[in-house]
Amino acid sequence: MDNIKILVSDDVSESGLEPLRAAGFAVEKRTGLKPDELREIVRDYDGLVVRSETKVTAALMDEAVRLRAIGRAGVGVDNIDVPAATSRGIIVMNAPDGNTMTTAEHTLALLLALARRVPQAHASLQGGKWERKKFVGVELRGKTLGVVGLGRIGRVVASRARGFEMKVVAFDPFVAPEQARDMELELASLEEVCARADFLTVHTPLTAETRGIIGAREFARMQPHVRIINCARGGLVDERALYEALKEGRVAGAALDVFEEEPPPQDNPLLQFEAVITTPHLGASTKEAQEGVAVTVAEQMRDYFQTGALRGAVNAPALGAQELHTLSPYLVLAERLGRFQAQLLDEAVREVKIEYAGELADMEAAPVTRAFLAGLLRDMSARVNVVNAFLIAEERGITVTTSYTRGAGHELSPAITTRVVTVGGEQSVSGALFGSSGDSSSGRITEINGFRIEAIPSGHMVVTRNRDVPGVIGRVGTILGAHGVNVSRFHLGRRERGGEAMAVIETDAPLDDATLDELQAFEQIVSARRIVLES
């Protein structure tokens, strides 16, 4: 692993990076780089670790020709162009649990500070004043906390708020009523949450759909004594609408840890309101959290480069070490079946149909589908891999469907049957595992277009279709021998006697054009294809 180079471009905990260094990776930490400086050096690295400062844009990734993984030491990935990374086959990882407790605690700190006007009272006393009557606060007990977003952080905030004897009403369209009952809170529409809340806190990712989720329309529904808290992402609360609501007295106060522009400009009017408490994006700023998210991302990136395990990935299905061990031989087989199929085709692919049987029928086989597509589309895109395989298929108008064959009588069925449809028809190739479980070299091709055959999908191969008449095998062997091509294995299959037969011939070296031309010129040969499945 000495050749794996990792760039850390933000201030990430040094001790948290130890898993990468212990794995033998070359880790270089260079913070404060300007965009042009970062684009200049990023081309030399396989991995990039960032927090929120570095903006990982499509232009940056265009320069990063070696980049295979981006690790976000934190939760939010809005500073990373995830679609651009996906299209380039770059995995994006985050640490979804690392900031949960510390951000929830900061939310509660601002909740209490808003209720009791702690920062304002502190500033007054620091200024030599004693203004007890001016800073009369409100109790949390009996008040209603509106929670927008019941992810990890939102759930912790709701749980802690109940400890203050607050009523909790929440909006999250992805949470089922029975889950809400388990959390001892009430689900409601966004409109109702805004109308009922005494305090409102936001805990959703920042997406095109959630940007401005608390805006002028929502403020118009709120009670005038409501107080707003945002420790999630700048942009979730429309700052202009919040300013107008504060100015008109429709909102009693706000506590903001995040802003639409960070750092906010000095003339941001929200900074001038005494009723607004601000902190400089401190939600994740505890020693424990900073070290925790760094360790998490470092371990995830280490495992990805060492074994291919995908944990914490935001643009590909998670695949842990145990699951990877079980699926690994199927992933190898599927990728090779895809490459094999691609080299048998002359026309553009329109549709891919994959059927899983045996133990795969009882697993989530999406990673295997991705591996097959990565092999099939390998020559269509220079950077196709399991991350972007579905995306590239979609871009090319290729429909992908999967099915599962379960039940008695299917134990002998091929584990994977792949059908590729082109304008000229359908081509099928099946494969299964033989030998010990977990052996990545145990995959075999078991059927090609209805011809039962057993061949190892590796190295150099020739696939021929011929008339089933005497002398063909000898003549093929003579042609290969005359051109200095040694046959390592010869697999033959046919549908019925005297019809057509198929041969998969494994050779020690690739066939040159002259050899292939002579095979195709033999009158009994219907077709001959050169296949290369080197690792």
More confident residue, 313 or 1: 313
| Alpha-carbon distances of 93 from 178, 237, 300, 405, rounded to whole Å | 31, 26, 8, 33
Asked if 54 and 80 sit in the same domain, the reply is yes
Average pLDDT over residues 47-73: 95
Query: Among 278, 297, 329, which residue terminates a domain?
Result: 278
DSSP 339: H
Strands 227-230 and 199-202: parallel
Give the count of beta carbons closer than 10 Å to the beta carbon of residue 217: 13
Distance between CA 81 and CA 67 in Å, rounded? 14
Is residue 418 domain-resident?
A: yes
Asked if 343 and 383 sit in the same domain, the reply is yes
Asked if 126 and 35 sit in the same domain, the reply is no
Asked if 50 and 147 sit in the same domain, the reply is no
Asked if 169 and 263 sit in the same domain, the reply is yes
Distance between CA 458 and CA 400 in Å, rounded? 25
Residue 304: both structure tokens together = 């990805």
Distance between CA 281 and CA 469 in Å, rounded? 78
Of the pLDDT bands very low, low, confident and very high (cuts 50, 70, 90), residue 327 is: confident
Asked if 250 and 382 sit in the same domain, the reply is no
pLDDT of residue 145: 98
DSSP 458: -
* Phi-psi label, residue 418: left if phi above 0, alpha if psi -120 to 50, beta otherwise: beta
257-292 residue pLDDT tens: 999 999 999 999 999 999 999 999 999 889 899 899
- Sequence-distant (6+) residues with CB within 8 A of 335 are 371, 372, 374, 375
Read off the CATH number of the domain in which 266 is found. 3.40.50.720
Q: What is the pTM of this model?
A: 0.68
Of the pLDDT bands very low, low, confident and very high (cuts 50, 70, 90), residue 365 is: confident
Is residue 73 domain-resident?
A: yes
Query: Catalytic annotation on 496?
Result: no
Of the pLDDT bands very low, low, confident and very high (cuts 50, 70, 90), residue 410 is: very low
485-511 residue pLDDT tens: 999 999 998 888 878 999 999 999 888
Average pLDDT over residues 71-82: 90
The answer to whether 92 touches 80, Cβ cutoff 8 Å, is yes
pLDDT of residue 461: 93
Asked if 199 and 60 sit in the same domain, the reply is no
Query: What is the C-alpha end-to-end distance of the chain, expressed in Å?
Result: 18
The count of domains in the chain is 4
Is residue 503 domain-resident?
A: yes
Res. 411: pLDDT tops 60: no
Is residue 53 domain-resident?
A: yes
Asked if 157 and 259 sit in the same domain, the reply is yes
Average pLDDT over residues 321-333: 84
Catalytic residue among 233, 336, 491, 529: 233
Catalytic residue among 28, 40, 139, 262: 262
pLDDT of residue 479: 94
pLDDT of residue 309: 81
Is residue 106 domain-resident?
A: yes
Asked if 173 and 268 sit in the same domain, the reply is yes
> 282 — phi, psi (to 5°)?
-100, 5
Asked if 510 and 436 sit in the same domain, the reply is no
pLDDT of residue 413: 63
Residue 165: both structure tokens together = 């004897």
Helix (H, G, I), strand (E, B) or coil at 329: helix
Whether cis (ω within 30° of 0) applies to the bond prior to 83 is: no
Of the pLDDT bands very low, low, confident and very high (cuts 50, 70, 90), residue 358 is: confident
In whole numbers, what is the pLDDT of the chain averaged over residues? 91
Res. 414: pLDDT tops 80: no
Distance between CA 174 and CA 209 in Å, rounded? 14
pLDDT of residue 452: 92
Distance between CA 343 and CA 375 in Å, rounded? 10
pLDDT of residue 355: 95
Residue 486: both structure tokens together = 């040694």
Asked if 404 and 452 sit in the same domain, the reply is yes
pLDDT of residue 178: 87
Query: Catalytic annotation on 191?
Result: no
Res. 185: pLDDT tops 90: yes
Asked if 444 and 370 sit in the same domain, the reply is yes
> 430 — phi, psi (to 5°)?
-115, 155
Read off the CATH number of the domain in which 490 is found. 3.30.70.260
More confident residue, 382 or 239: 239
Is residue 337 domain-resident?
A: yes
User: Domain span at residue 500?
Assistant: 458-535
Res. 382: pLDDT tops 80: no
8-41 residue pLDDT tens: 999 999 999 999 999 999 999 999 999 999 999 9
Query: Catalytic annotation on 497?
Result: no
Of the pLDDT bands very low, low, confident and very high (cuts 50, 70, 90), residue 535 is: low
More confident residue, 459 or 308: 459
Catalytic residue among 196, 203, 227, 281: 281
pLDDT of residue 447: 94
pLDDT of residue 45: 97
Distance between CA 205 and CA 202 in Å, rounded? 9
Read off the CATH number of the domain in which 424 is found. 3.30.1330.90
Average pLDDT over residues 431-451: 79
Is residue 314 domain-resident?
A: no
Among 117, 166, 171, 115, residue whose Cα is nearest residue 145: 166
pLDDT of residue 261: 94
Res. 4: pLDDT tops 70: yes
Distance between CA 354 and CA 393 in Å, rounded? 14
Is residue 119 domain-resident?
A: yes
The answer to whether 221 touches 196, Cβ cutoff 8 Å, is no
∠ CA 410-415-420 to the nearest 5 degrees? 115
Res. 163: pLDDT tops 70: yes
Of the pLDDT bands very low, low, confident and very high (cuts 50, 70, 90), residue 368 is: very high
Query: Among 227, 259, 278, which residue terminates a domain?
Result: 278
What does the buried/exposed string (b/e) look like for 162-188 if buried means 16 or more CB atoms within 10 Å of the residue's CB? eebebbbbbbbeebeeeebeebebbbb
Res. 440: pLDDT tops 70: no
Q: Could you give the percent of the chain with pLDDT greater than 90?
A: 72
Query: Among 425, 457, 489, which residue terminates a domain?
Result: 457
Lowest mean pLDDT among 74-78, 82-86, 427-431: 74-78
Res. 336: pLDDT tops 60: yes
